Amino acid sequence: DVKVTQSSRYLVKRTGEKVFLECVQDMDHENMFWYRQDPGLGLRLIYFSYDVKMKEKGDIPEGYSVSREKKERFSLILESASTNQTSMYLCASSLYGQEGKTQYFGPGTRLLVL
């Protein structure tokens, strides 16, 4: 079974703090993704990575950065947390292929910024 794990299920942080969210997958997937999910807005892509040290901006990258030093690990960094970054954060991974490859999701991290 594919397994995607996220470092925390719940986090509470203060405005201005630097926040690290970690994601690890165990299926040797090339692609990894970070989304945020908010009521009524669905899943919005923040960043994705198709290889080690490679990254591409998604739809809402402002206020976030990412790091992928190893194939299995993809980190999301909130440089200076703000209240509008309170959300559910979801990590996903997939194989690369000409044919669409399924994304597998982690359990999510619910972040509250006070």
Shortest separation between residue 66's beta carbon and another protein, angstroms: 14
Shortest separation between residue 32's beta carbon and another protein, angstroms: 10
Note whether 14 and 22 are within 8 A (CB).
Answer: no
Closer by beta carbon to another protein, 17 or else 104:
104
Whole-angstrom distance, CA of residue 23 vs CA of residue 13: 18
Shortest separation between residue 59's beta carbon and another protein, angstroms: 8
Q: What residue ranges bind another protein (CB under 8 A)?
A: 4, 31, 33, 40-43, 45, 48, 50, 56, 58, 90, 92, 96, 98-108, 110
Whole-angstrom distance, CA of residue 37 vs CA of residue 29: 22
Closer by beta carbon to another protein, 11 or else 43:
43
